[in-house]
Every structure is written in structure tokens, then in C-alpha cells.
Structure 1
Amino acid sequence: MQFFKHDAELVRLLATCEAEVARARTNDDLLQVIGRLQSFKGGLKFDHAQPLVLVMLAIVSAIPAMAGVVVMWFIAACFGVASLIIWMSRKATFDEMPKRIARKCSFLSNGLWDPGGTAEERFTQLSGEFEDYERGNDSRRIVDSAGGTYQGSRHQLPFVFHHLRYVNSHYKSKSDGESERVYESFDRFSLVVDFPWVTGVMVCSDLPKKKRTKPKVFETTSDDFNRNFIFTGDDLACAKFATPTTLAFLLRLCRQLKKVNLEFSSEGRLCLSFDDAEVMAYKDPGTFEDLSGFYANIKRGLELPGLFPVLALVHELAELHDNNFDLPMKVADEMEQ
């Protein structure tokens, strides 16, 4: 059994490290995980002893199968499939570990946290509050989420970032006259921010194809704005929202974010959605192929240079519409992180 020992120990190590990454509260915790990986004897590569043995058994089983023992085809196939599953699962675990560490490092470096609950629960809540999530006629799901609080000069803005994946399907005719179902996936991103100053207004440069109701468009005095956005909502709320300064701000925003939408719900929250993946992007810290370099990058922390400028824009919009509300409490210096 010594033949299988290295792979078994590496599997246990990766499982332990995965749990420790999930529990990590500081970058030092992550560095300790990487240190354990660095000190692992035998190197961070699977020998694939078990899959190789299963492949050999599959080959041996195929010999009597070719001689006419039909049941041996089934046994050979089982050995072959088991070998493939084990090999792929171990490779996936190994490839995902540096990504998990990098994601957690980006959270810890920027004061973010997991918002809790399942992705399905979060999507159900969001789709019930915002029409912007009515996309994808085949499937729709949240890939990842991150919560945080942005502290501006005047307001504290709790937010949750969501990465969503939608799938549309349609039938396409082939040259032989038959039709086949074609699937097309696309990603979209959103920031859901506590925003009590505006409710019941929607400003879209990219309307969802499937709408609950046909919107009544509110025309502003700006032709440039009317060409770039579809502006809907209660007439009084729209008129109050559409100040010249706000319209100029939104035109600037649509030049900075691709296919940007703003939806202000009746519950006092803003859904700012867009197509820009780089908003939540961080520099790739590398892989386990260069553990010392990976360690150094995690030690430095992973900044999110695209996120906070967008949150600053949301704060700027809040400053344009906060005159009738008490300011939310600022983050006190003594608050726990």
C-alpha cells in the first residue's frame, strides 16, 4: 500500500487546506496554509497511482471481453470510468486551491466577506426585488458574491457584489432542414447597495429582453440622455430624480461602465448592473507551480482596483440625492473589522 501513500496524503492535505482557507480571518492564516503546502514531502504532484492501477485492471478485464465474455466489457468500463473520475477530481481540487486562496485573499485585503446563504436563496431574493435579473430564458444563477461596506466622506454604503451567469437558448435551422437547440451563455455583474434616497426609478442602457410589464418611458429634457437610456418609473419620482446634474452624472457613468443599468427598488436599494468583469478583478497571484512567488503575492495582498472607483461613483450619486434624509452613521474608528 506504500504505492498509494503519497497520493492519499496529498488528498488529505488539500482537504485540510481547503477547510483552513474557508476559516481564514487574516492573510497570515492564508500564509500558514501555503507554508504547509511548501513543507509537504514528496512535492505537490499526484503520482496518480490509483488511476493507473485502475487503467491496468481495465486493460486486463478487456482481454477476456474480447474473447467473448461480455460481462467483462462492463467491468472494464467501470474500471476505466473510475480511473478517469479519480484523476479529474484530483486535478480539479489541485487547480482550484490557488484560486480559492486568491479569492479569500482578495476578500481579506479589501474588507469583504461572504454574504451568507446559498446562491439560489440570494438570486430568489434579488429577482423578487429587481427586474434587472430577468434574463436568460434557459437558466440563470449567481456564480459568486461578496459583501462589504463602502465608507465615503458623507455616507456609509453597505453593498453586495454579484457575478451572474445567464443562458439563452433558441432553435437554429441546419442545412439538412432539421433544427437544433443552441445555447448561448453570458455573464453580467451587479452591485446592490443600500440607497434610501431614491425609490421606484429605473434607468437602463440595456433592458432585459423579458420584462414583466411594458415600461412607460419618461422623457427628459436631455436628448443625449434619452438616446442612451430608457428611463421609467413614477412620473413624480422620475421628475425629482432627473436633475440636470444627475443626467450629466449618468451620461458620464455610461461611458465608464458597459451596458449600465440602475434600478432603485421600493425597498430602498439600488441595483447597479453592468458587463464589466474587471470591476472585481485582481492581479493573478500565480499557481502552485511557483509556490514561493505565490506566497509573496498573497503576503502583499490582492487589491481590487476596479471596485472602489465604482463605489465612489455610487457615493457621488448619493450626495446628489441625500438632501431630504439624515446622513447614515459613519464607521467609527473603534468598530471591529
Structure 2
Amino acid sequence: MWHHIYWMLLSGTATLVTNGGSRSPVVGFAICALVASSAIWTSLRKRRNWRKPVSKRIYLLDSLFNNDLKPVATKGRIETLLDTFREFDRGNHTRELKALYRGQYRGDEHSFDYELYHFHYVRQRTVTTTDSQGNTSTRTVYDHYYRHGLLLDFPFASGIGLSADSGLKFKGERYRSASNTFNRLFDVRAEDEMSAARFLSPAILELLSGLGKSLKDAVLEISAEGRLCLAFDDDDLLSQKPQHDLNNPAAFVEEIAGHTELVKLKQLLDALHGIMRLSDNNFGRARKPRKLLMIESLILLLPLLVLLILVITIYNGIIGKHNAVDRAWASVLTQERQKNKIIPHVEQMVEQYRMHEASVLKEVTALRSAISDLGNGVDTAKLAQAEQRTTALLKGLQVAVEAYPELKASETYSQVMAEISEQQEQVGAAIRIFNRNVEDFNNAIQMFPGSLVNGLLCRKARIDSFSDSEARGGFDYSPNL
């Protein structure tokens, strides 16, 4: 049908050009061909770069397919997310999901479904300007912002918000952890301080600190219903750049034939899986202050005022770092005393299998005694004794169990050793946080001008860090399968 219409139009145009056939038809068709060629050439020139966006779209679809990410309808989702997460309560004009994909993560201990989203919101503001003649004009400005993130179920905690974005503040009780690094990165709010303390174990603090450093304006929010949202400004989760495009079709086809791995997305999912693994056993920007009026009488006092502020800042910094050491030590003690819950299981296992290993029972008694000797004051020597007793007990168990094949193959032994391994991982993480805080504190009191302020006002003594490499590294148990 279309080719008939084409030739009819071409014939009609030729008739008009040749003045009803009075001129040569060849001339008419030549003129028509020239006009058509000019139009086609102009159109192709305007679209000479069409291959690049098409290549980019093909590469994105191939990446989604290779990583098992499927598009999801976004209609009505933004309203649900607004009711669930504070993260989506941004802007005052438009909020929309530009894209939403669903995938599945399979880890060693947990598998979960997740959604990857691209969020767009708009802030509307009014700008008033005055020209050189004093005429005032008002116009409306729309500022566009984009956020990206992951959504998934997280049944291990609820009602907790962590924000590294100064433009987003959560409600609730503020919580400060034992890690100075984490406290500098995130502002933490929770329904109650105890729920935040249970969730933010030392090992999780390390994981989240790494996320906070690698992501821009990161926000981690766990709703009251047990849904988790990890949001950030980074836009490179799906932005893998192809090396070739349709300008070189053979190379482009060969490239997309391979598997495109979304590296950053996998790293984030691995981190969330680590948070799950460590949790499943655990019970608008602020406005700047207005400028102070410059009064001549204050100029004379300015140097003294600056010095006073500097001294107060350094003093408070030293006290804060010392308190951070105390909090970190308290966290170490808590993790050490958690071993008292494991010791009865060891004794029960020894009694159940009638293990008459005097050395094992002796190490159990020695470990319990070493843990009870740990006081609230920092004492790394006693901590070293407790860790040495723990190591001795583990080695004693591993040697003794060789004589009891039925015990080595039992589920009881595997559970006890796995529980000890996880507890030692928590102890190791707590000790690493303690050592970092000790280093921060010692630097604060030994470097000038902190050393001067400490000598005159604080009078805090240097604290020794803990240097047991086995305890810092933790204990890894892998059952014999």
C-alpha cells in the first residue's frame, strides 16, 4: 500500500515539476530525486550519533539480563514508600521513581529478594531579582535531584535510621557508638537507645563505616515493619561503560556476548548480607548561623576569644576521645563476658560425651576466672590473659576431640564451635575499635597543642593498646564436611 502512495506522490510531483508533461520526465524525476536525497542527507546528518544512545541502551538491557534484574512497574509505589521511609520525603513539588528493578541475592547464609531504584524529586523555590533600574521580578525555579538505592526485607531490627546526609534528619533518641569513625560518618536515631545498641555491634559498625566512606550522602533506614532502605547519591550502579558501540558492530556484539558483572552492586549486596549474618543472632540542611556584627570593642577581645575557644575545643576533644576509649573498652568487656554463656555448653558437651580430659576442664575453669578478673577500668594485661585462656581452651578442645570421633561428627560440637567462632569475631572487632580509639586519644594528648592542654587541665595518662594479634584477628572455625 505504502509503495503505491509513494509512487503516486512522486508521479504527481514530477507532473507538477515538468509543467504537466511539457518538459522531459527525466528532468522532473531528477529534480525530485535531488530534493529527496537532500532531505534524507539532512535527516541522517542530524541523527549521525544515533548509534551511541542505542548502543548504550542495548548494553544496559544486556547488563540487566546478565545480572537477573527485571523491570518492575512503578505506578503507586512512591506513595507506599513515602509511608514507609523518611528517605523518600524529599522535595516539595515532584517525587517519582524513574526506574525500579527486582533481583535476588544468594549468599552463604542468607538469600533475599531486593529492589534497585532510581528516585527523582524536585524542589520548587521562588527567586526575586532586582535590576539596575530598581525593577523587581520574580520567577519560579525548579531544582532537580536524583537518588539511588536498594530495598529489601530486614527482620532483625526495626525503627532505626542512620544518616550521613545533612539534609535528612531522623526522629527519635540519638545514639552514639563506641567507634569515633562511625560517629563522624553517621547520625543515628532510634525508637530507643537499647534497640540501636543491639543492632550496632562492633562488627556491624566496621561494615557500616566502610559503606559510609564509599557512598555519597548514604542513608540506611530500617522501618518499624522490618523493611530496609539503603540510599545514596552515587549513580554508577548500572553505569558500566561499553568499550565498543554500533560503529563497530562485530566488536560490540562480542562484548555484549560476555557476562557483564555489576561490581559495585555486588559489593553493596555482599555488605548487606554481612549485616544480616551478624544481626540474625542479636537479640533540609541546617542553616548557617547569622554573621556576628563587627563591633570595634570586640576586635580587641577577638584573639583571647579565639584562644579560649581553641582551648575548650581541645579540652572537650581529649575528654571525648577518653570517653570513647571507655565505651570501646566496655564493648570489649561485654563481648568477653558473652563467653560465659558459651562455657556451660562446653561443660555440658564434655559431660555428655564423658570426656575425661583434665586439661579441657582446667582451661574452662581458667577462662571463667580470667573473664571474672576483667574490671571496668582499662587493663590490657588481664584482657590478654582472657584471650590466651580462650585460645588455650580452643586448642585443647581441638586436640581432645580427636579421641572422640562421635563427638567430632556431632551437631552439638559443630554448634558450640560455630558459636565460639562468631563470638571471637565480635571480640576481635571490638578490640580493633578499642585500639583505634586508643590511638586517637594518645595522639590527642601527645601532639601539640593537645599535650599542653592535657598537661595543664586534663592530666590524662597515655593508654596502652592491645597487641594480641590472635584476638584482634578473631577465630575462624570451619566444620569438617
TM-score by length of 2: 0.46
Q: Give the CA deviation at 1:233.
A: 1.4
Q: Which residue of 2 aligns with 1:219?
A: 176
The answer (yes or no) to whether the contact 2:198–2:282 under 8 Å persists in 1 is: no
What do residues 230-282 of structure 1 show as CA deviations (whole Å, max 9, x unaligned)?
11112131121122222232222211111111111122221011111112222
What aligned pairs does 1:315-330 form with structure 2 within 5 A after superposition? 315-323=273-281
SS in 2 for 1:246: helix
C-alpha contact 2:160 2:223 (8 A) present in aligned 1: yes
Instruction: Name the residue aligned to 1:190.
Output: 149
Aligned amino acid, residue 169 of structure 1: Q
Q: Which one-letter code corresponds to 1:161 in the other structure?
A: L
The residue that corresponds to 2:443 in the other structure is: none
Q: How much does 1:322 deviate?
A: 0.9
User: Aligned residue for 1:202?
Assistant: 161
Aligned-partner Cα distance in 2 for 1:187–1:291: 33
Q: Please state if 1:308 is matched with 2:266.
A: yes
Cα distance between partner residues in 2 of 1:277 and 1:3: 50
Report percent identity of matched pairs.
30
SS of 2:236's equivalent in the other structure is helix
Alignment-derived partner of residue 272 in structure 1: 230
Distance 1:281 1:205, change over 3 A: same
In structure 2, the residue matched to 1:283 is: 241
Partner in structure 2 of residue 164 of structure 1: 119
**2:101, 2:129 → 1: CA distance?**
43
Which amino acid letter does the alignment assign opposite residue 279 of structure 2? Answer: H
* Structure having greater relative contact order (Cα 8 Å, sep ≥ 6): 1
Partners of 1:278 and 1:227 in 2: how far apart? 25
Q: Give 3-state SS (helix, strand or coil) of 1:289's partner.
A: coil
- Offset at residue 160 of structure 1 (A): 0.6
CA contact (8 A) 1:263 1:271 kept: yes
1:179 matched to which residue of 2?
138
Provide the C-alpha distance between the structure 2 equivalents of 1:318 and 1:309, rounded to a whole number of angstroms: 14
SS in 2 for 1:180: strand
Q: Which has the higher helix share?
A: 2
Q: Paired residue for 1:135, among 86, 90, 106?
A: 90
What is the CA deviation profile of residues 177-212 of structure 1, one whole-angstrom value per residue up to 9, with x for unaligned ones?
Answer: 323222221211111122211111111111555x7x
SS in 2 for 1:306: helix
Shift of 1:214: 4.4
Instruction: State how far apart, in whole Å, the 1-side matches of 2:238 and 2:196 are.
Output: 30
Evaluate the alpha carbon distance shift between residue 127 and residue 94 of structure 1 in structure 2; reply closer, same or farther with a 3 A threshold: farther
SS in 1 for 2:257: helix
Q: Alpha carbons of 1:207 and 1:264: their partners in 2 closer, same or farther (altered >3 Å)?
A: farther
The amino acid across from 1:199 in the alignment is S
Alignment partners' CA distance in 2, 1:217 and 1:314: 23
- Supply the distance in 2 between the matched residues of 1:288 and 1:216 (Cα, whole angstroms): 55
**How far is the alpha carbon of 1:168 from its aligned partner?**
1.6
Partner AA of 2:118 in structure 1:
H
Rounded to whole Å, the distance in 1 between the matches of 2:216 and 2:195 is 25
CA distance in 1, matches of 2:172, 2:38: 58
1:261 aligned to 2:219?
Answer: yes
User: Partners in 2 of 1:99 and 1:4 — Cα distance?
Assistant: 36
1:4, 1:49 within 8 Å by CA — same for their partners in 2?
Answer: no
- State the Cα distance separating 1:286 from its structure 2 match: 4.4
Work out whether residues 60 and 238 of structure 2, in 8 Å CA contact, stay in contact via their aligned partners in 1.
no
Instruction: After TM superposition, give the deviation of residue 216 of structure 1 in Å.
Output: 3.5
Root-mean-square deviation (CA), in Å? 3.3
Q: What is the Cα deviation at residue 95 of structure 1?
A: 6.8
Classify the secondary structure of the residue corresponding to 2:247: helix
Query: Who is 1:155 aligned against?
Result: 110
- Once the two structures are superposed, residues 16-36 of structure 1 have per-residue CA deviations (whole angstroms, 9 ceiling, x without a partner) of xxxxxxxxxxxxxxxxxxxxx
Unaligned runs of 5+ in 1: 6-47, 56-83, 326-337
- Structure 2 unaligned regions, length at least 5: 7-34, 284-481
Counterpart of 2:252 in structure 1: which amino acid?
Answer: F
1:97 Cα deviation (Å)? 4.2
Kept after mapping to 2: 8 A contact 1:285/1:298? no
CA distance in 2, matches of 1:287, 1:4: 36
Q: How far apart are the structure 2 equivalents of 1:103 and 1:137?
A: 31
What is the DSSP-based 3-state SS (H/G/I as helix, E as strand, rest coil) of the residue aligned with 1:171? strand
Deviation of 1:140 after TM superposition, in Å, equals: 1.7
Distance 1:154 1:266 in 2: 24
Separation in structure 2 between the aligned mates of residue 138 and residue 266 of structure 1, nearest angstrom: 27
Aligned length: 247
Alignment partner of 1:294 out of 249, 252, 255: 252
- Residue 196 of structure 2 aligns with an amino acid whose one-letter code is C
Q: C-alpha deviations, 1:124-169, integer Å up to 9, x for none?
A: 2222211111112221211112111111111102111001122222
Q: Which amino acid in structure 1 is aligned with residue 63 of structure 2?
A: S
Matching residue within 40, 55, 66 for 1:98: 55
Distance in 2 separating the partners of 1:4 and 1:319: 68
Map 1:108-123; keep pairs closer than 5 Å. Answer: 108-114=65-71, 116-117=72-73, 119-123=74-78
Counterpart residue identity of residue 190, structure 1: G
* 1:15-94 equivalence runs, <5 A: 52=39
Higher Cα radius of gyration: 2
**2:123–2:143 contact (8 Å) kept in structure 1:** yes
Bigger shift: residues 290-299 or 149-158: 290-299
Which amino acid in 1 is paired with 2:175? F
Q: Match for 2:233: what amino acid?
A: D
SS at match of 1:295: helix
Q: Distance in 2 between matches of 1:93 and 1:126?
A: 36
Structure 2 counterpart SS, 1:120: coil
Matches of 1:268 and 1:51 in 2, distance apart?
A: 63
